[in-house]
Chain A
Amino acid sequence: MSAIVTTLEQRIGRGATTQEFFVNMGPQHPSTHGVLRLVLKLEGETVKDVIPVLGYVHRGVEKMGEHLSYRQFVHLTDRLDYLSALANNWAVAKAVEKAAGIETNERIETIRTLVAELQRIASHQLWWGVFGMDLGAFTPFLYGFRDRERITDILEETIGARLTMNYIQPGGVMFDLHPDFQRKVKEFIAYFRPKLEEYETLLSRNIIAQERMRGVGVLEAAQAVALGATGPVLRASGVAHDLRKSEPYGVYGKVEFDVPVGARGDCWDRYWVRIEEIRQSLRIIEQLIENIPEGKHLLVKPAVRTKVPEGITYSQVETARGVFGVLLVSDGKDVPYRIHVRTPNFNNLWAITRIAPGWRVADLVTMISSLDIVVPDIDR
Chain B
Amino acid sequence: METHELISAVQALEPAAVPREKVDRAAVVAPVERFLELMARLRDEPDLRFDMLCTHTAIDWIAEARLELVYCLYSTVHRHYLVVSASVPREAAVMPSMQALWPIAEWQEREVYDLFGVRYTGHPDLRRILLDDDWQGFPLRKDYRDDFMLEGPK
Q: What residues of chain A have their CB less than 8 Å away from a CB belonging to chain B?
A: 54-55, 58, 60, 62-63, 67, 98-99, 225-228, 239, 241, 246-247, 309-316, 323, 325, 327, 329, 337-338, 340, 342, 346-347, 350, 379-380
Contact = CB atoms under 8 A, between A and B. Distances in A.
B52 A312 contact: no
Contact of A312 (B83, B102, B131): B83
Given A55-B128, A55-B130, A329-B59, 15 more contacts: A54-B129, A58-B130, A60-B139, A63-B139, A99-B24, A310-B22, A312-B83, A314-B23, A315-B24, A316-B54, A325-B72, A337-B59, A342-B55, A350-B104, A380-B130
Nearest to A328: B24
B154 to A, nearest CB: 11
Contact of A226 (B70, B103, B139): B103
Contact of B22 (A311, A342, A380): A311
Contacts of B20: 312
Contacts of A98: 24
Given A58-B130, A62-B140, A342-B55, A314 B83 contact: yes
B121 interface: no
B25 interface: yes
A349 B103 CA distance: 13
B55 A313 contact: no
Interface in B71-119: 72, 76, 79, 81, 83, 102-104, 107, 115
19 contacts: A55-B128, A55-B129, A58-B130, A58-B131, A67-B152, A98-B24, A226-B52, A226-B103, A228-B52, A228-B104, A239-B76, A247-B79, A323-B54, A325-B54, A327-B57, A338-B60, A340-B55, A379-B130, A380-B130
B17 interface: no
Given A54-B129, A325-B54, A327-B72, A312 B24 contact: yes
Contact of A346 (B102, B107, B132, B140): B107
Contacts, number: 86
B85 to A, nearest CB: 9
B28 interface: no
Contact of B107 (A323, A338, A350): A350
A350 B110 CA distance: 13
Contacts of B129: 54-55
Contact of B23 (A62, A241, A312): A312
A379 B115 CA distance: 12
B48 interface: no
Q: Is the interface of A mostly helix, strand, loop or mixed?
A: mixed
Given A54-B130, A340-B57, A314 B103 contact: no
Most buried by B among A60, A67, A310, A314: A314
Interface residues of B, number: 34
Contact of B131 (A55, A314, A315, A323): A55
B7 interface: no
B10 interface: no
A99 B102 CA distance: 29
B27 interface: yes
Nearest to B43: A226
Contacts of B104: 226-228, 347, 350
Nearest to A64: B152
Contacts of A311: 21-24
A329 to B, nearest CB: 5
Nearest to B77: A225
A67 B154 CA distance: 11
Contact of B140 (A63, A309, A315, A323): A63
B52 A225 contact: yes
Nearest to A53: B129
